[in-house]
Chains A and B, each alone.
Chain A
Amino acid sequence: MRDKIIHAIFDDEQDVLTVVKDLKDSNIVVNEVYSPFPIHGLDPILGLKETRMAITAFIYGCIGLSFGGLLIYYIMISGVGKSWPMNIGGKPNSTFYHNLPSFVPIIFECTVLFAAHLMSITYLIRNNLYPGSKTTSPDPRTTDDKFLVEILYNEDKNNVVRLLEKSNVTEINEKDES
């Protein structure tokens, strides 16, 4: 069990990239990196998988497309359309495909509406973001100008500290329990 934590604080994102790579190479567990902005190139070093947000957007978009199509089919053609047939500009509403060109805009809007909103909701849920949620960042300066690397260790503390001291670390804070 690794239950002890070191918080190493850096001033520059390049140093974070270097140190995380070195720590990983020495088989030390880097639990988390907190930063004020996205650090490009960190995800593969940290071993983060690619996010599937775009895939969810695609699925939600497909749901929106079907919803828009079915809604229009029910209101204009099959359900309401059968009970109260409308003849607008000489265009009878007995078939879907004859009217399809004028249905495209709303089907498109439904696709975008569903994809954008449901993906954003998924994003908020996955990141545990909601009004009243508390930040998990150990140091408030990480939204300003500091980069914090959270390292888990058990017995190999000297090894971790030695590696950190070789880098441009500005602070090393130890915590006893996770």
Chain B
Amino acid sequence: MQKESKIRDPLILGNKTYHDITRDIARPVEGKANKYWWILFSLAAVLMLWGFACMAYTIGTGIGAWGLNRTVNWAWDITNFVWWIGIGHAGTLISAVLLLFRQKWRMAINRSAEAMTIFGVAQAALFPLIHMGRPWLAYWVFPIPNQFGSLWVNFNSPLLWDVFAISTYFSVSCVFWYIGLIPDFAMLRDRIDKKLSPMKKNLYGLMAFGWSGKAKHWQRFEEVCLVLAGLATPLVFSVHSIVSMDFATSIIPGWHTTIFPPYFVLGALFSGFAMVETLLIIMRKVVNMEAYITIKHIEYMNVIILFTGSLVGVAYITELFMAWYSGVEFEQYAFLNRATGPYWWAYASMMTCNVVIPQLYWIYKIRTSFVATFILSIFVNIGMWFERFVIIVTSLHRDFLPSSWTMFSPTFIDIGIFVGTIGFFFVLFLLYARAFPVIAQAEIKSILKSSGSEYKK
């Protein structure tokens, strides 16, 4: 049996038994949705449908429906893409990296964080798809034998690296998630009364793949999870490094920097943890998981946000320093323009939300408060969106030819699609919270006796 120091804060509160854990985690699935769920779901569904309408309009009329122009030929689409991909990264960090580090607090939050990853990456993938203009030709990005003559993909291009990285990341995340879900679906299958809800029982039976919990199966389960974590860890770092290379391998001042891969990975973890907090602080209330997602979990995540936020701050300053130190006037101007040009407000928002505000987490009272954490996490989400906007638009809008200098303003279609993906994301997450075991109950049970408050007395 695992032993844990008594002075460590408990991770499971209340006098819980194994059966209590089963009951608590099955409750949202077995019960009916409350009023708040329906309100949130309707709101998200409306936004999603609005987003779909805007996407349909874009595909029908062309990319001209967006606010892009010849100077700023990449704007909200890629900003949203990078933002969503970044949000996904915290899920993999929690489920994979923290597993390798044997962090027990990950067990209460990894399931939802991974769900967030998958739903976030799905939103991200929408943007390149609709930016193609003709999404039915999306299969052209894959290296498949074809009749187009020389129309083969170019393996030197970071955009193709992106195709491979994102699709690998998405599918491996799904597999990792599902492997962990199988024993929990089995728990639901065995709990649901066949007479009361035969459909539900059959459905969970189908999804549980006939899991029976034999000793040999658990042994393989643990090894597979460990190896998947080992594979997902370099994968997650590679994905955002490759996303950053979409920019870093170009020759645009402001993009052409070697600091981009680590800087993007850190920013991704930073924004991802903020989104995990935003979601979990609401979820723990809505589905009554207060005993499992405690203030200690929130505090641990806040410490990571403080750490990564400070490193992102260092990266911002390093960029400015390198621009000055390089002696390249284009590079120097790009950064001067970023901070003091017409987009100074975006830069200032980014600096405030990402570097200054997270420093409040040094204060114990703030990092151990649900309300403060929720507010701060929203700031970080906004700040990280601005970071991508700043990097992309401020580097483009004043290019090498001053006669083509211009500004970018989004159309209602741009805004509609972005808002639509937020709606779509919440629709998926809300459905997940009703139909899936939101906490990895098998894992939580395995730490009950070392980290439960009742066993710490």
Contacts and interface: CB of A to CB of B under 8 A. Distances in A.
Interface string B186-214: 11011100000000000000111111111
A101 B219 CA distance: 39
B139 to A, nearest CB: 16
Contacts of A135: 186, 189-190, 208, 210-212
Contacts of A112: 168, 172, 231, 234-235, 238
Nearest to B213: A34
Interface of B: 1-2, 17-19, 22, 143, 149-150, 152-158, 160-161, 164-165, 168, 171-172, 175-176, 179, 182-183, 186-187, 189-191, 206-224, 226-228, 231-232, 234-235, 238, 242, 245, 442-443, 445-446
A33 B215 contact: yes
B175 A117 contact: yes
Nearest to B17: A145
Contacts of A66: none
A83 B172 CA distance: 35
Given A43-B215, A116-B175, A53 B223 contact: yes
B446 A37 contact: yes
Interface of A: 13-14, 32-43, 46, 48, 51, 53-54, 57, 61, 71-72, 75-76, 80, 83-84, 86, 88-89, 91, 99, 102-103, 105-106, 108-110, 112-113, 115-117, 119-120, 123-124, 126-137, 140-145
Contact of A106 (B19, B152, B155, B446): B155
B220 A106 contact: no
B215 A32 contact: yes
Contacts of A51: 216, 219-220, 223
Given A112-B234, A127-B217, A134-B210, A36 B152 contact: no
Contacts of A126: 220
Contact of B212 (A76, A120, A137): A137
Contact of B213 (A36, A41, A88): A36
B210 A123 contact: no
Contacts of A127: 211, 216-217, 220
B154 A145 contact: no
Contacts of A106: 155, 160-161, 164
Given A129-B211, A137-B190, A142-B190, 6 more contacts: A103-B155, A106-B161, A109-B165, A109-B235, A126-B220, A143-B191
Contact of A113 (B149, B153, B171): B171
Contacts of A110: 164, 168
B224 A119 contact: yes
Select the residue from B149, B207, B213, B442 with max chain A CB neighbours within 10 A.
B213
B216 A48 contact: yes
Given A84-B149, A86-B154, A46 B215 contact: yes
B224 A53 contact: yes
A39 B150 CA distance: 57
Given A105-B164, A106-B164, A129-B211, A80 B152 contact: yes
B209 A124 contact: yes
Nearest to B226: A54
5 contacts: A41-B1, A103-B156, A113-B171, A117-B175, A134-B210
A82 to B, nearest CB: 12
A36 B143 contact: no
B222 A144 contact: no
Nearest to B176: A116
A72 B155 CA distance: 7
A92 to B, nearest CB: 11
Contacts of B161: 105-106, 109
B212 A136 contact: yes
Contact of A36 (B1, B182, B445): B445
Contacts of B215: 32-35, 39, 42-43, 46, 48
Contact of A141 (B190, B442, B443, B445): B190
Given A39-B218, A116-B175, A134-B210, A54 B155 contact: no
Given A91-B156, A105-B238, A109-B238, A40 B220 contact: no
Given A102-B156, A120-B179, A109 B210 contact: no
B446 A38 contact: yes
A171 B243 CA distance: 57
Contacts of A72: 155
B165 A131 contact: no
Contacts of A91: 156
Given A131-B209, A135-B208, A145-B18, A102 B155 contact: yes
Contacts of B231: 57, 61, 112, 115-116
Given A105-B161, A124-B209, A38 B18 contact: no
A40 B223 contact: no
Nearest to A120: B175
A35 B218 contact: yes
A51 to B, nearest CB: 5
Contacts of B155: 72, 75-76, 99, 102-103, 106
Contact of B209 (A48, A116, A130): A130
B191 A144 contact: yes
B164 A109 contact: yes
Nearest to A128: B210
Contacts of A80: 150, 152
A102 B238 CA distance: 13
A61 B171 CA distance: 16
